[in-house]
Amino acid sequence: MKTVIISNRLPVKIIEDNNEYTFIPSEGGLATGLGDVYKNGNSIWIGWPGIEVPEERQQEVIEKLAKLNLYPVFLTQDEINLYYEGFSNEVLWPVFHYLVTYAHYEQSYWDCYKSVNDKFAKAALQVLSETDKIWIQDYQLLLLSGILRKKIPHSTIGFFQHIPFPSYEIFRLIPWRDELLNGMLGADLIGFHTYDDVRHFLSTTTRLLPVNSSANVLSSSDRQVVVEAFPMGIDFDKFSNLTGQDEVQKEIEDFRTGKENMKVILSIDRLDYSKGILERLKAIELLLQIHPEYIGKFELYMIVVPSRDTVPQYRDLREQIDQFVGNLNARYRSVNWIPINYFYRSYPIEVLSALYATADICLVTPMRDGMNLVSKEYVASRNNNDGVLILSEMAGASKELTDALIVNPNNLGDIMEAIVVALKMPLEEQQTRMKAMRDIAEKFNVKHWVNNFILRLNEVKDSQNSLLTK
Ligand code: F6P
């Protein structure tokens, strides 16, 4: 019996250079969080390798990935445009992050979303046996549980959504809302990061479909589905140990040289309008206007990892960030100082680790975020218990990391004040807060998350089976 993880993206993606394919780690919380864990158990992972692979090269990719227990689902360029960029990232992503005006309800997106979910089901059925545990990940595959349930009715299916689930008033806007919910209800266990997401899902489902809920169990005429919160963690030890590696120590030293009296503020995100990048920059601008005494006293290191840049809103956002940073730096910089060091690229984990270990303050201010693992990675990298985390109350992580300075990301004054508090925070207070957050991130790490979910999935299935035999 094995665990079959299915997600839109595999934990590695193909990069093509001179007709050569190489595989590098994928970005995003799901891949970084689960990317190592699946290797430890008896698991395989099914998903898209990140680019269109021409038919004549698919066998080569299949063979290379098989060595890593990965099974590719190949998407055509049309499917990438309509299912991934279209329905997933121009309908579900904006609506689930409450940016409803960004949504384009195109029938062609929906049609393709359905057919690609079918394609994933076909791929899964080729490698699945009936006793396997199936663990489907995220919003790109909301229909998959339902499709697989029809094909293999007694299978054990867990579904976990990594992004927020919106309130009923928002979700009901989607033209295909009932089909989406019915698809999700094919699972035995549905997980979200927070209890708020669970609440929204339960109330949405009972208002739109003929199902009843009793506590966190949804019942229809023939099935029961359990809905629970499983806050995702990170590989705490990996991040904590990385800072001691020679390579990382060297990066830290290089980075710190010449900045002895400078406070370093760090932000790391995928390019995304849900991450509050522009708002964060505006808060920095406000700080420079209202507190000129901090000019020359801090530097923001802002890493933006390229993502979905073929989707128009992401392209626009990138231009806006470029412009804002350019203007702000031009206005405030001096010969020896620049307020914002902006990098639009991805970095290896060793560099990120050095940045986490160096930064006096980490600024994580998404407008809405399922969990946000960057906040936990920062905390895990602070082996001396110093440093200050400023964290948006709209991130799932704020429910756990309550010793961060919690801010409303829409309130620029609030963010600015928090930066001032962080810049002045005595070491002792930093250590008390950081220690408490590290304890939580260490205890509720990613292994705990995986074990907890799988354990609960087994329990739910066992109790369903015993009901059936009564
Ligand atoms: O963590 C949320 C998530 O949407 C994942 O499902 C996804 O893999 C990741 O962010 C990165 O997004 P994308 O796969 O679109 O690059």
pLDDT one-digit tens code per residue, 356-370: 999 999 999 999 999
> Number of helices (H) and strands (E), helices first, in the chain?
19, 17
Q: Residue 283: which pLDDT band, with cuts at 50, 70 and 90?
A: very high
Residue 33 has pLDDT above 80, yes or no: no
User: What interface predicted TM-score (ipTM) does this complex get?
Assistant: 0.94
Instruction: Indicate if 97 belongs to the active site.
Output: no
Average pLDDT taken over every residue of the chain: 95
Instruction: Indicate if 369 belongs to the active site.
Output: yes
273: its two tokens: 């309008």
Mean pLDDT of all residues in 271-299: 98
Whole-model pTM: value is 0.96
Catalytic residue (one of 97, 162, 193, 200): 162
Q: Which pLDDT score is estimated for 242? A: 97
Quick: pLDDT tens for 44-59: 999 999 999 999 999 9
Burial category of 1 from C-beta neighbours within 10 Å (exposed 0-12, middle 13-18, buried 19 and up): exposed
Beta strand 217-219 with 212-214 is antiparallel
82, 57 contact by CB (below 8 A): no
Q: Which pLDDT score is estimated for 415? A: 98
Residue 293 has pLDDT above 90, yes or no: yes
Residue 155 has pLDDT above 70, yes or no: yes
Q: Which pLDDT score is estimated for 164? A: 98
Q: Say if ligand 1 is within 6 A of residue 31 CB.
A: yes
CA 101 to CA 33: how far, in whole Å?
A: 30
Among residues of the chain, what percentage have pLDDT more than 70?
Answer: 99
CA 19 to CA 33: how far, in whole Å?
A: 30
Nearest to 292 by CA among 339, 232, 353, 227: 339
Among residues of the chain, what percentage have pLDDT more than 90?
Answer: 90
Quick: pLDDT tens for 159-184: 999 999 999 999 999 999 999 999 99
Please state the atom number of ligand 1 nearest to the C-alpha of residue 270: 11
In the sheet that holds 405-407, the strands lie side by side as: 340-344, 298-305, 263-270, 361-364, 388-392, 405-407
The owner of tokens 């094995």 is 2
Quick: pLDDT tens for 87-107: 999 999 999 999 999 999 999
Catalytic residue (one of 132, 197, 369, 403): 369
Q: Which pLDDT score is estimated for 27? A: 77
Please state the atom number of ligand 1 nearest to the C-alpha of residue 29: 1
Mean pLDDT of all residues in 21-41: 81
CA 41 to CA 284: how far, in whole Å?
A: 45
Mean pLDDT of all residues in 262-276: 97
396: its two tokens: 């799932």
Q: Ligand 1 centre from 105 Cα, in Å?
A: 20
Q: Which pLDDT score is estimated for 34? A: 83
78: its two tokens: 């049309």
Q: Residue 220: which pLDDT band, with cuts at 50, 70 and 90?
A: confident
CA 379 to CA 445: how far, in whole Å?
A: 12
Q: Which pLDDT score is estimated for 470? A: 65
10, 12, 26, 30: residue to mutate for ligand 1 pocket, most atoms within 8 A of CB: 30
231: its two tokens: 């806050």
Quick: pLDDT tens for 414-467: 999 999 999 999 999 999 999 999 999 999 999 999 999 999 999 999 988 877
**Exposure on the CB side of residue 13, measured as CA atoms within 13 A:** 14
Q: Tell me which DSSP letter residue 400 carries.
A: T
Residue located nearest, by CA, to atom 12 of ligand 1: 28
Q: Ligand 1 centre from 29 Cα, in Å?
A: 7
Mean pLDDT of all residues in 349-378: 97
Residue located nearest, by CA, to atom 16 of ligand 1: 307
